[in-house]
Amino acid sequence: MILGRITGLSLIPSYILVLLLASNISAVQLPFDNTCPIHYDNDEVSDTFTDFYVMTLASAGKIRLSGMSTSMPVDLGFATSEDYERMARDRNTVVALARKSGFLGIPDPVRGVKGRIYKPAPGRIEDTKPNGSAGGWAIVKEARKATPEKPLVVVVGGPVSVVADAYLLDNSIADKVVVLWFGGYAPETNSMGEYQAWLDPWASYIVVMKLRLVAIPGGLGGVAVPRSKILSDLPDTPLRQCMYDLNHPQFKHVDYDGDAPAAIPLIHPDYIQKTKRVSFSHWLSYQEKDVPAYKDDPKGNVLVAINGSGDKFATEKWWQDMADPAAWNPSPANIPKQ
């Protein structure tokens, strides 16, 4: 467990400190720390730099990256089966380039959920058919070795399909997994009425009902990644060249890390400044799909980040980690054992 830093903590009168902790104004307690095993799942590689960031943390020995997977629906008009195959190939490519650049501690990527987790006719989680993805099984395998106190943290930048798949494959892992998700919360409706949850609403519901979730909405602090800084701050390697050349088929050149908010708290818990707890309330219509809505609940298993440290903090910490010489010239002794 990590407790966010409070400046001058010892100088705060005890009765005020109790109020601060109770209201979550300045202190945040997260259900993981950087010694927990990490599984990373996302859709695109080419519209963000999060793959590179997570691999850098792993190569520097700051996290133990136990798995990587690719998940994306292919029947909603945003991505086709061919798009999914490209995403999976791209993830294999960046891992190969990271290893060619000297990175250590990077696992082989596997296929997550190609598609969605579909709601069964009875409308009950226990009747839901798992996808049986390699990513789901990788999460199950690692979670079985974890504990509630040292859970497997699944960092998600897309839909949470693979996490729901893992739960459906083995219900016993429920208390050994924490989902750290860039998504899952729309403040204006106190719900999952946003794109990431909308991609696979039944998987989102399963995660809300059965697992511990830390939901991170947009706006907590983004990361600027200008091409000039890639050249000036990072070693001349195949991985740096890949970052410089990153070019999404639709968005073209990318100059920000859009999914990094799901990974930064792994080693910078003070990135999250304020939270609240919620639980499932009812289904809410969002863009012609029903998504889970929340109710505020001090005992809820969903921890929502509602205030962050801002763009300057996020960008500074991201670049500090990305340019760490320990990642680009790693020592095998510093890499946590799998």
pLDDT value, residue 163: 98
What residues does each domain of the chain span?
A: 1-30, 31-334
Number of Cβ within 10 Å of residue 157's Cβ equals: 27
Secondary structure (H, E, C), 91-114: HHHHHHHHHHCCCCCCCCEEEEEE
Joined tokens for residue 309: 């440290």
pLDDT value, residue 20: 38
160, 117, 169, 180: which is closest to 138 by C-alpha? 169
Mean pLDDT by 10 residues, the chain (338 residues): 30 37 56 97 95 98 98 91 96 98 98 97 96 98 98 98 98 98 95 95 98 93 94 98 88 84 95 96 93 96 93 96 98 86
pTM: 0.91
- Write down the architecture of domain 31-334 according to CATH: Alpha-Beta Complex (3.90)
